[in-house]
Amino acid sequence: MNKFDSSKLRTKSDNLSEGWLVQVYSGDRRLLCVIESSHAWTFLLGCGLGLLLAVGWVNLARDSPSKTYEPATTPPELWVD
């Protein structure tokens, strides 16, 4: 009679901790690149930080004064010769 081996029993959490891997091949079956789960998390983190930086930059640019010089059209109050 076969005995039950608990080491071969895999739980759902074991499957989740393994991660995933995407391999991209060309038409002649040559490996072009490999994408791991850490690459996807890094990409998403970079997108989030880039969006945060862009929103902050737009808010700072909107509140800053104009850089073009506009001369006053009226003379100063105390005109000294």
Residue 30 exposure: Cα atoms within 13 Å on the Cβ side: 2
The answer, yes or no, to whether residue 81 has pLDDT greater than 80, is no
Question: Do the Cβ atoms of 23 and 34 come closer than 8 Å?
Answer: yes
pLDDT, tens digit (0-9, with 9 covering 90-100), for 16-68: 556 788 999 999 999 999 988 888 899 999 999 999 999 999 888 877 676 67
User: According to the model, what pLDDT value does residue 19 have?
Assistant: 76
User: According to the model, what pLDDT value does residue 34 have?
Assistant: 92
The answer, yes or no, to whether residue 78 has pLDDT greater than 60, is yes
Question: Do the Cβ atoms of 18 and 37 come closer than 8 Å?
Answer: no
